[in-house]
A and B are shown apart, each in its own frame.
Chain A
Amino acid sequence: MNDMVFATAFYILAGITILSAVGVVFLKNIVHSAFLLALAFFGVAGIYVLLNAEFLAAVQLLVYGGAIAVLIAFGVMLIQRRDMSSSNPDAAWSPLGLGMAVMAMVVFIAAIVLTQFPVTNVAPEFSVEGLARLLLTDYVVAFEAAAVLLLAAMVGAIILAKGAKEA
């Protein structure tokens, strides 16, 4: 019973993810593509939940469903053409894109097939709690370095967007 609920949830989430990803590629209106991309991110977050990766799911929702989706929506707002469908023209590059996609798929499949996945019967003691303990005790320098990195990213982004002042 439990397995069936799990499998149903997985197929629903996988279906949502794949269908919205297909929609991102094939829809004419780039705004619809942007929204479907956000939906695909949500589907992936759901799959993370099924894998018991709660923290990853939260990060997926916050960073991809929140930040990346907002950035893409803003990108669309700023660059769109007057006629929406001409913002998303038929790509003359699609054969090249197909080639790249096939090569990427080959690499991914090869990596998955060739990797030995070690399986243990012991549940990993890795959760949000464990992550917090590690992050705030053993890896505290990396943690604060992340703050500095974010600061640098923000300052750099503002300078890029506004232009640096003459010294």
Chain B
Amino acid sequence: MLKEYLAISMFFIVALLIPVAVIFISRLVAPKKTTPEKEEVYECGVDTVGDTWIRFKTSYFLYALVFVVFDVETVFLYPWAVQFQQLGTFAFVEMFIFIAILVVGFWYAWKEGALEWK
């Protein structure tokens, strides 16, 4: 079982090494002539006004809340999805009810305008 994870860990190591290598190599070969203009914060070619760290709208937080609920739902979906074919129709109906209950929550969020951008 752990052998399969060895492959995954190899994958992780390569995934970690590639960005490090990219940053390192580009630092190695890139010309390093700086001018005051180059040092400025890049913002779509327009001069930056105010701080670059801004506060965000609270609307983001509502998206995060809805995301968290459906993320926890995934935890329940995962064992069902693994055993889907062995468990049969009854489990399918159960999962359908489970999702239906959560869709009510999604409908509520929609109705309350939690997903709207104002």
Contacts and interface: CB of A to CB of B under 8 A. Distances in A.
B65 interface: yes
Is chain B's binding surface mostly helix, strand, loop or mixed?
helix
B80 A132 contact: yes
B40 interface: no
A91 interface: no
A14 interface: no
B67 interface: yes
Nearest to B81: A132
B9 A78 contact: no
Interface stretch (A51-59, A98-106, A114-122): A51-59
A67 B68 contact: yes
Given A66-B71, A154-B108, A158-B114, A135 B55 contact: no
Interface residues of B, number: 48
B66 A154 contact: yes
Contacts of A157: 65, 69
A73 to B, nearest CB: 8
A66 B91 CA distance: 27
A166 to B, nearest CB: 14
A130 B69 CA distance: 24
B71 A158 contact: no
A71 interface: yes
B101 A147 contact: yes
A62 B105 contact: no
B71 A62 contact: yes
Contacts of A161: 58, 61-62, 65, 114
A157 B61 CA distance: 10
A11 interface: no
8 contacts: A67-B72, A84-B53, A128-B79, A136-B87, A136-B95, A150-B101, A154-B102, A158-B66
